[in-house]
């Protein structure tokens, strides 16, 4: 080969290598690009992620079935080979980063309730009007007590950030009642931390508070196992702070009876049971952590397999929130400020 | 015996420098522009499903 030819080939090789390298990187990024719009960013006053303000119908696509621990680590993307059961919902926020329309001046005689919490408080996977805060407002309205309920849910929020929110933006909102809607993270020492952050929040807002515990999916065996102990410890911790502790788990567990699929663990074995027909879809040895791989595959392959009142093994659906709101509203009433005479 | 078409070593070096230099410059431009305009992936989505 003539030396000139070899030099030309080498030069072409260098350019080709650069093109292939960048092409590969672009392909990877485009393939991983989620269908979901970004909705959170670090909010310096609270020192953690918070919802972006003034979101207008941001679209989110999320798993519509229980997902493997590593699955949510990759955003859902086009042509996803594993995650085919997907649901989408929209998310709008106001200037206060709340999932509400713009806040107007507080109306006399219409108390303001702040539901502060994580993705379940936010209504992850459902529309704003189907989430707990909106349904609670409706339930209280039906009881003849019109209120304004602020949706301060933020996915995966830490209780420390919730307390920071109360000390910063929260105290400017003119709140009359706080609903602290989160479970303690299942780590050692978390009950104390949970109680302390809740105390800081109520002190900053100077209002009564309800600590509202989430309903639990049967497909979350870890949460199910530790639940009774968690509630008992919380009762002890919160008794000093005069916080009303309410647990939505028994309510929703009872409402699931006879409906849809459930996951049952007994003596180291698991079963996925269709409660309507009594048929056992799957059974086997229960893994130490999470669910057996076959359970996820079952959800992916059998569209009929569906847990009542939850859509992804963690987050309640609209009907669950409606039930919780109807149960919660009468318990909220006595904690609201007295009505104006004749008001 | 040397071919009459073979360039002198000095001019071959210049030839190589011109071609390889241009290729490297072009590769640098491709990598630079490609990286600058690389689509962003929302890594915050990692926390969407954690509660």
Token digits of residue B31: 């990598």
Q: Which residue of B has its CA nearest to A50?
A: B44
- Determine, for residues B42 and A49 on separate chains, whether the beta-carbon distance falls below 8 Å: no
pLDDT of residue A72: 54
In a domain, B44, yes or no: no
Question: Domain total for chain B?
Answer: 1
Query: Which of B19, B35, B41 has the CB atom closest to A33's CB atom?
Result: B41
CA-CA distance, A101 to A93, in Å (whole number)? 7
pLDDT of residue B44: 47
In a domain, B26, yes or no: yes
Grade residue A239 by pLDDT with cuts at 50, 70 and 90: confident
CA-CA distance, A216 to A262, in Å (whole number)? 12
pLDDT tens digits, A285-336: 999 888 999 999 999 899 999 999 999 999 999 999 999 999 999 999 999 9
Nearest Cα neighbor of A256 from A234, A229, A275 is A275
In a domain, B23, yes or no: yes
| Residue environment code for A253-277, b if the CB has 16+ CB neighbours within 10 A, otherwise e | bebbeeebbbbeeeeeebebbbbee
pLDDT of residue A153: 97
DSSP class per residue in A280-341: EEEEEEPPSSS--HHHHHHHHH-TT--BTTBSSSSSB-HHHHHHHHHHHHHHHGGGSPPPPT
Residue A159, pLDDT above cutoff 70: yes
Ranges of each domain in chain A: 40-256+307-335, 259-306
Cα within 13 Å of Cα(A285), Cβ side: 2
In a domain, B31, yes or no: yes
- Determine, for residues B23 and A14 on separate chains, whether the beta-carbon distance falls below 8 Å: yes
CA-CA distance, A319 to A82, in Å (whole number)? 27
CA-CA distance, A138 to A120, in Å (whole number)? 18
In a domain, B49, yes or no: no
- Determine, for residues B42 and A36 on separate chains, whether the beta-carbon distance falls below 8 Å: yes
Please report the ipTM that was assigned to this predicted complex: 0.77
pLDDT of residue A35: 66
Domain A40-256+307-335 has CATH 3.40.50.300: no
In a domain, B22, yes or no: yes
Residue B50, pLDDT above cutoff 80: no
Q: What is the mean pLDDT of chain A?
A: 91
Nearest-CA distance A144 → chain B (Å): 34
Interface test with A, best of B12, B41, B43, B46 (most A CBs within 10 A): B41
B34 in contact with A, Cβ within 8 Å: yes
Query: Which of A14, A41, A60 has the CB atom closest to B27's CB atom?
Result: A14
B32 in contact with A, Cβ within 8 Å: no
pLDDT tens digits, A167-189: 999 999 999 999 999 998 767 67
Residues of chain B positioned with their CB less than 8 A from the CB of A73: 46
A202 exposure class (CB count in 10 Å sphere: 0-12, 13-18, 19+)? buried
Containing structural domain, residue B23: 9-36
Token digits of residue A6: 């070899």
- Determine, for residues A156 and B48 on separate chains, whether the beta-carbon distance falls below 8 Å: yes
């Amino acid at each position: 080969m003539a030396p000139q030819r070899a030099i030309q080939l080498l030069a072409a090789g260098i350019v080709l290598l650069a093109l292939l390298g960048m092409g590969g990187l672009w392909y990877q990024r485009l393939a991983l690009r989620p269908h979901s719009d970004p909705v959170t960013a670090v909010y310096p006053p609270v020192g953690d992620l918070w919802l972006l303000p003034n979101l207008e119908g941001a679209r989110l696509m999320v798993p519509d079935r229980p997902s493997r621990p590593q699955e949510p680590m990759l955003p859902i993307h086009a042509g996803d080979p594993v995650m085919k059961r997907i649901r989408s919902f929209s998310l709008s926020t106001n200037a206060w980063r709340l999932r509400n329309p713009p806040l107007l001046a507080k109306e006399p005689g219409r108390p303001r309730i702040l539901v502060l919490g994580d993705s379940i408080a936010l209504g992850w996977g459902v529309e704003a009007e189907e989430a707990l805060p909106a349904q609670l407002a409706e339930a209280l309205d039906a009881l003849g007590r019109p209120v304004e309920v602020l949706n301060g849910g933020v996915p995966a929020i830490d209780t420390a950030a919730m307390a920071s929110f109360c000390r910063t933006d929260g105290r400017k909102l003119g709140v009359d009642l706080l609903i602290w809607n989160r479970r303690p993270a299942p780590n050692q020492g978390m009950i104390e931390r949970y109680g302390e952050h809740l105390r800081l929040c109520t002190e900053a807002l100077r209002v009564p508070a309800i600590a509202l515990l989430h309903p639990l999916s049967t497909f979350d065996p870890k949460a199910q196992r530790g639940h009774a102990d968690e509630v008992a410890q919380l009762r002890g911790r919160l008794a000093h702070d005069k916080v009303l502790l309410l647990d939505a788990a028994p309510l929703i567990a009872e409402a699931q009876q006879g409906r849809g699929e459930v996951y049952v663990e007994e003596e180291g074995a698991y079963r996925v049971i269709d409660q309507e027909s009594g048929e056992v879809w799957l059974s086997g040895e229960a893994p130490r952590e999470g669910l057996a791989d076959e359970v996820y595959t079952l959800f992916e392959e059998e569209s009929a397999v569906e847990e009542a009142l939850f859509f992804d093994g963690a987050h309640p659906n609209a009907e669950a929130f409606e039930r919780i709101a109807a149960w919660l509203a009468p318990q909220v009433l006595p904690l609201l400020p007295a009505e104006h005479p004749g008001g | 015996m040397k071919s009459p078409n073979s360039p002198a070593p000095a001019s071959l070096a210049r030839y190589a420098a011109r071609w390889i230099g241009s290729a490297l410059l072009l590769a640098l431009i491709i990598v630079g522009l490609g990286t600058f305009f690389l689509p962003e992936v929302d890594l915050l989505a990692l926390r969407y499903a954690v509660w």
